[in-house]
Amino acid sequence: MRGNTVAARQTEVLICGAGPAGLALAIELGSRGIDCIVVERNDRVGYAPRAKTTHTRTREHFRRWGIANDLATAAPFGLDYPSDVHFVTRLSGYSLAIIRDAFNCAPGRNELYAEHSQWIPQYRVEEVLRTHAGSLATVDILFEHEFVSAGQDETGVTCHIRDIRAASRIDIECHYLVGADGARSAIRDLIGAQMQGRYGLAHAYNIVFRAPGLAAMHAHGPGIMYWQTNPDVPGMIGPMDKDDLWYFMPGKIPGLDRIDLATAADLIRRATGIDVPYEVLSADEWAASEFIADKYSDRRIFLIGDACHLHPPTGGYGMNMGISDAVDLGWKMAAVLRNWGGKYLLGSYEQERRPVHRRVIDAALSNFSTVSLHLAIPPAIEEDSQEGAAVRAEVGARLADGRLQEFRSLGVMLGCSYDASPITASEPGGRPDDPSMRDYEPTARPGARAPHGWLSDGRSLYDLFGPGFTLLSFGHGPDLECQRAEADAASSGIPLTTVRIDDGKIAALYEQRLALIRPDQHVAWRGNLWEGPRILMRATGQLNSAD
C-alpha cells in the first residue's frame, strides 16, 4: 500500500463480493432505494466458468427484478435449444439413454411456475446481474477493491478496503456488512464462523476448450450434457457458449493423477473419440465438499451464498441457493433500515435459510452418489456385438432411472418452505416431513412459496404482487377485510398492496379467502378474516411465535 492514504465513505450496506449472491443482494437492496456499495477484488465479474443451470425459482426473481428477458437474450444457443441430457458411451459412440427437458428449461407456460429454467453459463448470468445492479441509483460497484478487515459496535461497522489499482486504503462505514465472498470467505473468518462437514468428497477438473465443428461431428443431436460412460475416460462433456466453446469434466481416470493445459487436449480427444483440434483454455481443479457454517451472522455482519454453504454441483443448486439467500436477507435488511422491520426480522434469515440449505445439500449429495453409476462399466459396452448391445441396454436403463432425480427436481427448486420460521403464521397440521425432491405440490400453507397461476388475461399471478407485502383477496365479498389490512399497514408504515383475484382456479390453490404474501413471494399468513395488526407485526418480525 502506498503511504497511508485513507479515504472515508459511508453507506447503508457494504457487500463483499460481486458473485451471483452479492450482485443479487445489491439488486434486492438497490431496488428498494437502499444505499449499498459492492467491493470486488477482481476487475470484472464472471471469472468462474462454473454454473450453467439457472433454475425456475431464480428466473422468477429475475422476472420480479424486470430482467428475465435480458437473461433470455443472453442465452448463447437461444431459449429453444433443447436441455436434453444424453448418456452415451462416447461422443463418437453409442447412445445409452436420453433425459429430455432436464431442469424444466423448455420455454412455454407451465401452471406451476412463472419462469422456466435456463441453461446459460454463470459468467453471462453475472453480467446480466451486474448490468442491472449498476443501473440502480443507490448501488455502487467497486472493482479491484478488496475487503481487508472490519470492526463493529452497536452503531455500525467500519470496514477497511484496499483499492488495488490505486494501492490505497478506503475506510467505509456502514450499518451492515454482508459477506458474499465465496468459499474462502474472509468475512466468515472475521465473525469466527466455522464450516462444518466434509472436504474433498471427490476431486475433479473443469476444463474449458474450443473445438471448431465438434457439435456437427457427433450423431447424438443437440443437448446440454453428454455423460460419456466407458471404462477408459468416463465423464461429462457439453457445449458451453457460442464460438465452439465446450466444457469437459472427466471422472477419475485410471493411471492419470494430474490434468493440465498440456495434457488436457489429448485426454478430450481420447474421451470423445473425435479427432479435431482442441484448444484448451483453462483446466481448473475443484473439490466437491459438503459444508455448512455453524453460524451465519454476528450482530451487524451476515454471510450469504458459498460463504456459508458448499456442496457438490450435481443438480446445479449452489448459485441458485446463494441468490435466494440474497432475496431472503435483502427485503428484511431493507425493512429494518426503513424502520418497518422489527427486532426479530434479521434473526429469521438464518432460521429460515438453514433448514433449506440442509435440504438442498442433502439433495445434491444424493444426486452426487448416483454419479458412481458411470463407473465400473464392462468393456463390452463399446463392442459391436450382441453382448455389447445387452450391456448398453442394461446400463442405459440403470442410468435413465438412477440419475433422473438430478434432472427432475422441481420439488427442490420450488418446494422450499419457511414453515418453521418465527415470522411465519402457525397453522394446525403440518407439511409432510420429507416433501418430494422430485415433484412439487403447490401449497399455500404459511411459509411456502406462493402457489403460481396464469390469469385469464395471460399475466402471471406474480406480476400483480407489489414490492412490499401483498394481500390477495379471492372471490366476492370481503373488501372490508382488505381495508382493515390497509389501515393496519399504513399505521405501521408497512408497504402493502391489496389485490382482488376473481379466478376460481387460483382461489382453489389458496383454500382461504385471504393470503398475505411477503416481498419474496412466500406466504406469511392466510385466513378468511383479517385478524388485525398482529398478522403484519409477526410477518415483519415485530412479534415472534413466542409473543
Ligand X SMILES: Cc1cc2nc3c(=O)[nH]c(=O)nc-3n(C[C@H](O)[C@H](O)[C@H](O)COP(=O)(O)OP(=O)(O)OC[C@H]3O[C@@H](n4cnc5c(N)ncnc54)[C@H](O)[C@@H]3O)c2cc1C
Q: In the chain, what's the furthest Cα-to-Cα distance?
A: 78
314 contributes a contact to ligand X by CB under 6 A? no
Residues pairing with 235 in the sheet: 228, 250
Interface pick for ligand X out of 25, 26, 29, 52 (rule CB under 6 A): 52
Binding mask 53-82 for ligand X (x = CB under 6 A): x-----------------------------
Q: Find the binding residues for ligand X in span 181-220 (CB under 6 A).
A: 181-182, 186, 206
Rounded to whole angstroms, how far apart are CA atoms 231 and 225?
19
Report the sign of the C-alpha dihedral through residues 521, 526, 532, 538, in that order: negative
The least distance separating ligand X from the CB of residue 219, rounded to whole angstroms, comes to 26
50 contributes a contact to ligand X by CB under 6 A? yes
Residues belonging to the chain: 547
- 188 dihedral zone (left: phi>0; alpha: psi -120 to 50; beta): alpha
306 contributes a contact to ligand X by CB under 6 A? yes
Rounded to whole angstroms, how far apart are CA atoms 198 and 282?
27
- Nearer Cβ to ligand X, position 40 or 488? 40
What is the DSSP-derived secondary structure letter of residue 110?
B
131 contributes a contact to ligand X by CB under 6 A? no
Contact 331, 235 (CB under 8 A): no
Contact 296, 346 (CB under 8 A): no
522 contributes a contact to ligand X by CB under 6 A? no
Contact 427, 444 (CB under 8 A): no
The window from 36-44, 193-201, 441-449, 507-515 that contacts ligand X (CB under 6 A) reads 36-44
- Nearer Cβ to ligand X, position 186 or 464? 186
What is the DSSP-derived secondary structure letter of residue 50?
-
Interface pick for ligand X out of 13, 25, 26, 39 (rule CB under 6 A): 39
Interface pick for ligand X out of 26, 133, 180, 537 (rule CB under 6 A): 180
Rounded to whole angstroms, how far apart are CA atoms 547 and 539?
13
Interface pick for ligand X out of 22, 223, 330, 415 (rule CB under 6 A): 22
The window from 46-54, 342-350, 426-434, 493-501 that contacts ligand X (CB under 6 A) reads 46-54
Interface pick for ligand X out of 77, 286, 291, 454 (rule CB under 6 A): 286
Rounded to whole angstroms, how far apart are CA atoms 226 and 270?
15
The least distance separating ligand X from the CB of residue 162, rounded to whole angstroms, comes to 8
Q: How many CA atoms lie within 13 A of 384 on its CB side?
A: 1
- Nearer Cβ to ligand X, position 58 or 443? 58
Could you please report the per-residue DSSP string of 5-44? -EEEEEEEEEEE--SHHHHHHHHHHHTTT--EEEEESSSS
Where is 270: in which H helix or E strand? helix 261-272
What is the DSSP-derived secondary structure letter of residue 451?
P
Instruction: Give the three-state DSSP class for 31.
Output: coil
Binding mask 329-348 for ligand X (x = CB under 6 A): --------------------
409 contributes a contact to ligand X by CB under 6 A? no
What is the DSSP-derived secondary structure letter of residue 242?
T
Could you please report the per-residue DSSP string of 529-541? S---THHHHHHTT
The least distance separating ligand X from the CB of residue 215, rounded to whole angstroms, comes to 20
The window from 39-47, 106-114, 168-176, 327-335 that contacts ligand X (CB under 6 A) reads 39-47
Which of 438, 398, 412, 395 is closest to 356 using CA atoms? 412
Binding mask 246-275 for ligand X (x = CB under 6 A): ------------------------------
Instruction: Give the three-state DSSP class for 476.
Output: coil
- Nearer Cβ to ligand X, position 125 or 537? 125
Rounded to whole angstroms, how far apart are CA atoms 35 and 14?
9
Burial annotation 282-295 (CB, 10 A radius, 16+ → b, else e): ebeebebbbbbbee
34 contributes a contact to ligand X by CB under 6 A? no
Total interface residues for ligand X by CB under 6 A: 34
Interface pick for ligand X out of 117, 152, 158, 320 (rule CB under 6 A): 320
Interface pick for ligand X out of 41, 269, 398, 534 (rule CB under 6 A): 41
The least distance separating ligand X from the CB of residue 446, rounded to whole angstroms, comes to 27
Interface pick for ligand X out of 35, 140, 144, 146 (rule CB under 6 A): 146
The least distance separating ligand X from the CB of residue 372, rounded to whole angstroms, comes to 18
The least distance separating ligand X from the CB of residue 40, rounded to whole angstroms, comes to 5
- Summarize as ranges the residues that interact with ligand X (CB under 6 A): 16-22, 39-42, 48, 50-53, 122, 146-147, 180-182, 186, 206, 286, 305-306, 313, 316-320, 322
